[in-house]
Amino acid sequence: MKNFYRRSRLRLLLACLLIGGGLPSCSDSEEGGNPGYRPDQPIVLESFTPTTGSIATQVIIKGKNFGTDPKALNVYFNEKRAAVISATGERMLVLAPKLPGEECIISVSMGENEENKTQFDEIFNYIIQTNVSTVAGGTQGSTMPTGTTSLSSVASFMDKPDSPIAIDKDNNIYVRFSLSSEENVHRVYMMNEEAGSIKLLNDFGILVTGIILSRDYKSGNVYWWHTNMGNEDFGYFDPVADYASVGSGKTKWDKPLSYTEGMPSWGGRQGFEMNPADGKFYFYSNEGVCARWDPETGQGENLTTEAFKSSQGDIKGIVFDPKDPNIAYFAVQGQHCIYKHDIAAGTVEVWAGRQNMPGYLDGPLAEAQFNNPCQMCVDPEGEAFYVADRENHCIRKITLSNGYVSTFAGTPRTSGYQNGPAGTALFNKPIGLTVNSEGDLYVGDSENYAIRRIAIE
């Protein structure tokens, strides 16, 4: 979103001149109230132009009794507040906010006095734009970054982001790379778009068979755990200690977890996710194990029942129903479908996609097809799930209100590397997927050796 506002700054001076009518400037008003505003008179709205636009569209509102202090004016597009750039008694210039809704009612009030609030009858039609860009990487290189460096300098990674990614409360993105040049070494990086930086956090050593990452929604920090069934050490990256890796202890299970000892147990856990309602992490293994544990105590509960035997396979994607935290959904790659788990009842059933039928098809949940679905996330409004559909090379969207699966970004069944509008962008086996509080998605685009960003604006 900030990039749109930056591009708009160069056009603001011209827009201010176009408003005319003795506009003072686009600077702050003088101290001591809002010059020109008559509190004993109503705010009058006459017209606005244009009537259609996207984020940061410059909208000129005409009327009466606006005053000349833009900071004193409150302008809303539905419930989203717009930036007021300048004002005269009869005109003001505002920027359309991000994602206010497709049909917007524009309202205006002065200061904290909602009694003077008034609104237009005419609708502003908001155009949603979805664009794909690259945060870092994009080609395979021969090295990996060390220390802290700028994102703009990282055009390539030696290794792939091939596991779930995570984002903390400060919008730091955490990505694990498995270093092909050093056997069994897993390196975790933290990226921050606002700061334009990438920082090496930790090299997890040779005895580790894999590290997975997930967010603690209570603290806002990112936790790490092991893919190896039987290795129960866990910890987090501490922002107070410059994001050093802190070991918190070991998970302790109330009942032993059933899994095959030896090689098959390596990589048995591919993802874990916190239920925001109970503050516990849940995971599903490739051998049909289901369990949860408390990061504050390490105490774990084995939830495995016979119902999970039918849902075995690598599971990177886990999300919880935003309206019913007793319901979890998990994507089984090799079965090409998403299961629904009723935690209280202990039942498991296919929810989306066709079990053991890989393919590509948008449509109702039972008719849609996926091909190796991986990490999933929930949009900030709780209205949809997003799925990294690895072998279809795209990001899918499941709208919860009508149970419909659609293609959100990428060109289905077409691998490649291309930024731009979501409908023509190209991915190559996306695996990781997470979302920030603004609704922007971040993708671990595995075979492109890149972290991509999907901005919904």
Q: Which of 138, 21, 154, 167 minimizes the C-alpha distance to 87? A: 21
Q: Across residues 55-67, what is the average pLDDT? A: 97
Among 227-231, 276-280, 325-329, name the one with the lowest average pLDDT. 227-231
Per residue in 356-394, pLDDT (tens digit) is: 999 999 999 999 999 999 999 999 999 999 999 999 999
Q: Which of 90, 105, 126 is the last residue of a domain?
A: 126
Q: Categorize the per-residue pLDDT at 115 as very low, low, confident or very high, splitting at 50, 70 and 90.
A: confident
> Is the same domain home to 219 and 260?
yes
> Is the same domain home to 188 and 73?
no
| Domain limits for position 117 | 2-126
Residue 179, pLDDT above cutoff 60: yes
Over the range 265-285, which residues count as b (16 or more CB within 10 Å of their CB) and which as e? bebbbbbbbbbeeeebbbbbb
Per residue in 240-258, pLDDT (tens digit) is: 999 999 999 999 999 999 8
CA 31 – CA 69 distance, rounded (Å): 9
Q: Categorize the per-residue pLDDT at 444 as very low, low, confident or very high, splitting at 50, 70 and 90.
A: very high
Q: Please tell me the predicted confidence (pLDDT) of residue 206.
A: 56
Q: Categorize the per-residue pLDDT at 434 as very low, low, confident or very high, splitting at 50, 70 and 90.
A: very high
Indicate the number of domains in the chain: 2
Mean pLDDT rounded to a whole number for the chain = 91
> Is the same domain home to 333 and 434?
yes
CA 446 – CA 428 distance, rounded (Å): 7
CA 176 – CA 189 distance, rounded (Å): 6
Q: Across residues 207-224, what is the average pLDDT? A: 90
> Is the same domain home to 261 and 114?
no
CA 403 – CA 410 distance, rounded (Å): 21
- Residue 174 β-bridge partners: 166, 190
> Is the same domain home to 114 and 251?
no
Q: Please tell me the predicted confidence (pLDDT) of residue 202.
A: 87
Task: Report the CATH number that the domain containing residue 220 is assigned in CATH.
Answer: 2.120.10.30
Q: Please tell me the predicted confidence (pLDDT) of residue 263.
A: 59
CA 338 – CA 354 distance, rounded (Å): 9
Q: Categorize the per-residue pLDDT at 7 as very low, low, confident or very high, splitting at 50, 70 and 90.
A: very low
3-state secondary structure of 56: coil
Per residue in 158-177, pLDDT (tens digit) is: 999 999 999 999 999 999 99
The DSSP bridge pattern shows strands 280-284 and 299-302 to be: unpaired
Q: Which of 109, 126, 143 is the last residue of a domain?
A: 126
Residue 216, pLDDT above cutoff 90: yes
> Is the same domain home to 373 and 439?
yes
Q: Which of 83, 100, 126 is the last residue of a domain?
A: 126
Q: Please tell me the predicted confidence (pLDDT) of residue 178.
A: 80
> Is the same domain home to 365 and 331?
yes
Residue 213, pLDDT above cutoff 70: yes
> Is the same domain home to 86 and 230?
no
> Is the same domain home to 325 and 435?
yes
> Is the same domain home to 148 and 56?
no
Per residue in 14-56, pLDDT (tens digit) is: 444 344 444 433 333 333 468 999 999 999 999 999 999 999 9
Q: Categorize the per-residue pLDDT at 204 as very low, low, confident or very high, splitting at 50, 70 and 90.
A: confident
> Is the same domain home to 103 and 198?
no
CA 10 – CA 189 distance, rounded (Å): 35
3-state secondary structure of 448: helix
- Residue 247 β-bridge partners: 235
Instruction: Give 430: exposed, middle or buried? Use CB within 10 Å, 0-12, 13-18, 19+.
Output: buried
- 195 or 115, greater pLDDT: 195
> Over the Cα atoms of the chain, what is R_g?
25
Q: Please tell me the predicted confidence (pLDDT) of residue 114.
A: 76
CA 164 – CA 100 distance, rounded (Å): 30
Per residue in 284-335, pLDDT (tens digit) is: 999 999 999 999 999 999 999 999 999 999 999 999 999 999 999 999 999 9
Q: Which of 246, 244, 208, 241 minimizes the C-alpha distance to 227? A: 208
- Residue 80 β-bridge partners: 77
Q: Categorize the per-residue pLDDT at 210 as very low, low, confident or very high, splitting at 50, 70 and 90.
A: confident
Q: Across residues 257-281, what is the average pLDDT? A: 87
pTM: 0.87
The DSSP bridge pattern shows strands 211-215 and 222-226 to be: antiparallel
Q: Please tell me the predicted confidence (pLDDT) of residue 183.
A: 56
Q: Please tell me the predicted confidence (pLDDT) of residue 205.
A: 67
| C-beta separation of 304 from 291 below 8 A | yes
> Is the same domain home to 317 and 406?
yes
Task: Report the CATH number that the domain containing residue 17 is assigned in CATH.
Answer: 2.60.40.10
3-state secondary structure of 241: helix
Q: How far apart are the first and last CA of the chain?
A: 7
CA distance readout (Å), 409 to 132, 236, 259, 375: 8, 31, 37, 15
